[in-house]
Structure 1
Amino acid sequence: PEHLKNDADAIFKFNKAIIDATAPYCVAYKPNLAFYECFGIEGWTALEKTIKYLKQNYPDQFIIADAKRGDIGNTSAMYARSFFEHLDVDAITVAPYMGEDSISPFYGYEGKWVIVLGLTSNKGSHDFQLTEDADGTPLYQNVMSKVSSWGTSDNTMFVVGATQGKMFEEVRRVVPDKFLLVPGVGAQGGSLEEVARYGMTDDCGLLVNSSRGIIYASTGEDFATVAGQKAKELQVQMEQLLADKGII
């Protein structure tokens, strides 16, 4: 918002206002690292302050570093150390393209979660993820199946974009008991109803994310109030879907 742009601590003040307005309606926050790293040390400092603020004031909130890391083992070990020791987040998103040794260092932390890119919400996801092998199995299914053998239902989630709709049925055949982190509801046009219909398990199994549709709902001085309203609207929809499933 314009009224914050010249503030020396604009990013953190924006985040703090968003958090205070939306915390009653959500269970997790997912800062996207690129939007902090682009500001250099100032952005990283704002990220650290945001995480500390969450831990001090909303300790039950699950914090995901949306970093999409993944590199050879010794490099991944440093990434894991950075996010799980220094920042002390609860989870990190990772890219599985380089294989097991690029992900295994993240599994070395008790109580932390590894969230692996599975079937993503972007347009280019079809370039590789839907490529089929000789048996007709899409690449994303082979990836999910393989990664599932590295982790457990207590430390591994998969990213599956809300825009994939009915394909959640296929995803659930491959990973019936894994939590799914589901971006793409809201600004990207994903359907919450379809996600619930095809992806929800008997005890939910979904962590649904809406970002731009909430934090950018207003660019005025009322941005936090409007963000809270949008978060509540989505929470009410989710609550109804849980009730329809008989979970609550």
Structure 2
Amino acid sequence: MGIELSAVGNHEFDWGVDRIIKWAEDGGFTFVCTNIYDIRTNEPVDWAEPFAIIEREGVKIGFIGLATPETAYKAHKARVANYEFRDPVEIITEWLPKVKDAGADIIIALTHLGSFQDKEGNITGEAAALCEVDGVDAVISGHTHKSVCGLVNNKPLVQAYKYGRSFAKLTFIFDENNRLVSAEPALDHLYARADTLKDDANMLAIYERYDEELGPVLGKVLGKTTVELDHDRY
């Protein structure tokens, strides 16, 4: 898919840090995160880069990674026992000058921080708070499985819909001196135009193999509940 960078989500911890490292190696991409600290060293984790700078058409785009502090109680307790998830606003404020000094023309917060958008277009949530921080030019949100697209404090914030059903897009225009002129958020709802998409032959073959093998097992009803089951530990 051409993925170069990824934030660290709470479900990344489902199978342990060794798997996180292997996914990055196998996928040829880099996890970025500044606010997950190893309590044994009091340093940011060494299996993710704090930030990355990618150059496109002469413009240096900085990405600062952030994870939701909710990971501390939404991930398997044993998997996160050695980690502290620090305040995103405080941490990004600390890292912004470092990324600027590294040469970034603009800085995007690449996050697994949640956001919500009401019918009037107002955006709230953890990710929205980053738009109030000077030096942040745009925010990519995640975690809450909602479609979010708009401006907060005149800065674009996007969150694609869940399970790959949408793509989020940020379009930037710069002047001849690489100064940001405008930024526009957008969502491409793939589920709404499924008839225009072609199956990838290799992925389809893998899916069909596992569907045939696991379908009877996963389709077996084990029990029913009449109440909603809360997935949080607390």
> Going by fraction, where is strand more abundant, 1 or 2?
2
Shorter-chain TM-score range = 0.3 to 0.5
Q: Which has the higher contact order (CA 8 A, sep 6+)?
A: 1
Q: Normalising by structure 2, what TM-score?
A: 0.40
Report the structure number with the largest CA radius of gyration.
2
Q: Normalising by structure 1, what TM-score?
A: 0.38
